[in-house]
Structure formats: C-alpha cells, structure tokens
Structure 1
Amino acid sequence: MNGLLRPARRTTLADDVYESVRALLMDHAVAPGERINIDALARRLEVSPTPVREALARLESDGLVRKRPLAGYTAAPLLTRAEFDELVEMRLILETASARRVADRFADRPDAGAAGELTRLRREAELPGQVPGTEGFAAIAAFTSQDARFHHLLAEWSGNRMLHAAVVRLRAHLHLFRLHFPAAHHGTSAREHLRIVDAVATGDPDAAGTAMRDHLLAAADRHLPFFQGTPCA
C-alpha cells in the first residue's frame, strides 16, 4: 500500500478516510479477499483507528468489504459469473419496473414541475468521460457516481420506497468489478440513458421499460469479457 495514499487533510475527516480506503479497494491495492489491518491503515493515513473503522462500516454497506466475527474486515471478492447473471436478472426486474412507473407518472403531469424533473434527469443521464491525466479508479470515479445517481433517481421517482432501496443495494455489487470497468461504457451508456429519458418524457411505460431493459442488457454484454479472462473494452 506504500505510496498509494496521502494523509487525510480534508475538512471532513471521516469522508476523507472513506474515499481513501475506497480508492484502495477499487484499485486492488487491497486485493479481493485480503484481510484489512485497521491499525496499519490508520498509521498510513495518519489518523486514529476510529475514522478507519467508521469508513469500513460504510464500505461494508457499499458491499466493498465484509466483516466476520473475530476475524475483522476483508475486501469483498469479485463477482462470479453466476452471481453476475443473478445481479443482471434482478436489475432487469427492478429497474425496468422503475422506468415504467416513472414514465406513467410523467404521463399524468404535463406541467412545469415535470419539465424541471426531466431536465434534472437528462442532466444526470449525460455521463462524464474518463478524467484526463488520471488512472485506475480516479479516472472513472465521476462516471460511476453519476451513473449511480441516474439509476437511483429513477428508482426514487418510481414512488416505491422498497423498490428504491433494493436498487440501491444491488447497485453496490457493481463496485466489485473495480479495475475491470469496461471503457466502452463511456459515451455508450450516456446515449442509452438519454434514450431512457426520451421514453420517460413521452409518458409511455412500455417504451421506457424497453429502453431500460436494452440498456441493462447492453451494459451486461460489455462486462462479459471480464469473465472470459480478457480485458473489458
């Protein structure tokens, strides 16, 4: 881990430690399945063990680390192909439903408020590309965060709180790809997102559901080279 972290100096110490440890996990500086030494990590960050423990608790809820009684924290393993297929199946069920419900809501709201919400949704759909001059997780962090916001926003606007919570929980599993993020997501995902927004704007649940389904299946295809032992492209 030497040289991979800088001391935590941002105003919110807990957030700084969280982001630093998250970057380690996403970049495989802490390998999948590796045990996490809290004291060593605290020394490296020049903080007490308390904010490190707080960060690990948050990362556990993100699905990036696991805690076992008497054994402490370990980095979560990468998804198997079977687990990935299950994840895709669940996302198809939940997120297709959320897109349909949101489109149905907009069909009954031809007002200025609806127009403002569509503008917000379109803004989140237009994903940023890779950050110039960076590598590893730092290069894709902005993309992954905004991509999550887009999907979470649709689930939230579905009006079903349990559906929204389920989508957020499932989304965490995508972090387990870490370094195996397909470069083809840049630009392609944004165009697919915008097709979803256009379908929602028509108030047509069938069109919105189909656009979401097409996006999820295409995104899944872009991840498949990881399971075939070749770099994602």
Structure 2
Amino acid sequence: MRPARRLTLTDDVYGTIRAQVMDHVVAPGARINIDALARELQVSPTPVREALARLEADGLVRKRPLVGYTAAPLLTRDEFDELVDMRLILETAAARRAATRATRTEESAVPAGDPAVPAADPTATDQLRAAATLPGPVPDAQGYASIAAFTTADARFHQLLAEHSGNRMLHDAIVRLRPHLHLFRLHFPPTHYRTSGAEHHRIVDAIDAGDPDRAEAAVREHLLAARERHLPYFGQG
C-alpha cells in the first residue's frame, strides 16, 4: 500500500489539474507538459502522471502516442445531443428499476427463481432523498471552485440512482459517461441552483411511491430540462 501522504498528494494534484481543465486554464486541446506542470505545482512528475491517468479515465484529458497528454476538446453540439440521448436511455431505465425495487424491500416479496428485479435496500429512498438536495455556490469562490460542491453532489445523486437500480452493468455505464464533468466544463447555467434539487426530489417521490412510470417520467423531464438550460451555450434553442 502507498503511504497515506502519497495518496493525499496525488488527490491534491488531481484536484488542481482537474480545476485547471474545467476552468480552461489548460485550454481545450492544449498539450500538457508533465515536467512543467510538476514544477508549477512543486511536486515530482510521478503524482502528475498519476493524476493525468485519472483524468484520462474521466475523459477530461487524452493520451496520444508521441504527443503525450492533451486536454480533451469541448463537446460539440452533436456530441452534447448524443450524451443527452444516452442518459435518457440509461437513467430512465435505472429509475424504473429503482421504483420497482422500492416495492420489494423484503426478500420474501421476490418470487422464487425470479431474480430479474432484486429486492431493494430498505434505506435506498432515504439515501436518495438525502442526496437530492444540492448545495449553492461557494461564497467568494471563482470559476470551477464555486460550483465544485454542486457538481459533486449532483453526480452523487445520479450515481446513487444508478446504484439502486440493482443492475451493476447499468450503473457502470451511467458512471462511465461522466456527464457532469463534461457538461459543466461547457457551461454552468445559474438556474441549476434553483431547479435541479427540486427535480431530484420529484424523482425520489416517484421512487418512494413505487411508481415506475412516474419515476421514468420524472427523470426524463429532469434531463430534458437540464438540456434546455445548457443549450444557450451553443447559441440555439
């Protein structure tokens, strides 16, 4: 095991570089010089390489043979639409399963030989409801630092929703999209602060009621509303 101090250093370097990419301090498409970045951060190149490997998994940087790491380009309008379409497919399915499972919290409620929709964790709805409320902007912070807590909490809610679908492959597919990093690197609509939490709570209410149709509709409405909030970045509605 690596010492705790090393782990903390790597996490700190990862967070710093991620903020630079999110704030376009490292411009989209720009080459990332590991040695120069290590000097800037006053660390050895090793934690920088480790951080860049994590950012590559996030989709925020790319590694190319003979070139090294570059910051990923921003989403195009077509890629943005494809991301929304994929989320509509995956996250509405997750919500339906979570709502179905909410009515089957006891193992005895699951018919023998029918594991298609396993019983839910009885605390699932409580976990989702606690995660549904989102923090506001960080006072006196600028750029990504002001919205980092919001984006982390928003991602946590959607990951929990995927987790409580009971389907690990579905969960993994949703998490791998990393939509929050990509969308909020494009544009952060201030209206997210006022509306996303309320939309989350409507999703939880439907799941708590054990209503798959309503849960699916609530997720669809949330994702389409978020889509509309981001469209001004592209200059069209």
- Give the alignment's TM-score, normalised by structure 1: 0.90
Distance 1:201 1:148 in 2: 20
- Aligned residue in 1 for 2:110: none
Distance 2:157 2:60 in 1: 21
- Aligned residue in 1 for 2:72: 76
Return the match for 1:14 from 6, 10, 13.
10
Shift of 1:199: 0.4
Q: Secondary structure at the match of 1:29?
A: coil
2:59 touches 2:178 (CA, 8 Å); kept in 1? no
Shift of 1:116: 2.9
Q: Which runs of 5+ in 2 are unaligned?
A: 108-119
Structure 2 residue 123 is matched with structure 1 residue 116 = yes
Q: Secondary structure at the match of 2:29?
A: coil
Return the match for 2:232 from 216, 219, 225.
225
Structure 2 residue 41 is matched with structure 1 residue 34 = no
Q: What residue identity is the alignment partner of 1:144?
A: T
Q: What residue identity is the alignment partner of 2:99?
A: A
Structure 2 residue 124 is matched with structure 1 residue 127 = no
**Number of positions where the alignment pairs a residue of Structure 1 with one of Structure 2:** 221
User: Would you identify which runs of 4 or more consecutive aligned residues in structure 1 move more than 6 Å?
Assistant: none
- Aligned residue in 2 for 1:87: 83
Distance 1:162 1:110 in 2: 23
Distance 1:74 1:201 in 2: 44
Return the match for 1:182 from 173, 184, 189.
189
RMSD: 2.0
1:78 touches 1:177 (CA, 8 Å); kept in 2? no
- Aligned residue in 1 for 2:42: 46
2:75 touches 2:182 (CA, 8 Å); kept in 1? no
Return the match for 1:59 from 55, 59, 68.
55
- Aligned residue in 2 for 1:6: none
Return the match for 1:167 from 137, 162, 174.
174
Q: Which runs of 5+ in 1 are unaligned?
A: 1-8
Q: Secondary structure at the match of 2:162?
A: helix
Q: Secondary structure at the match of 2:69?
A: strand
2:151 touches 2:180 (CA, 8 Å); kept in 1? no
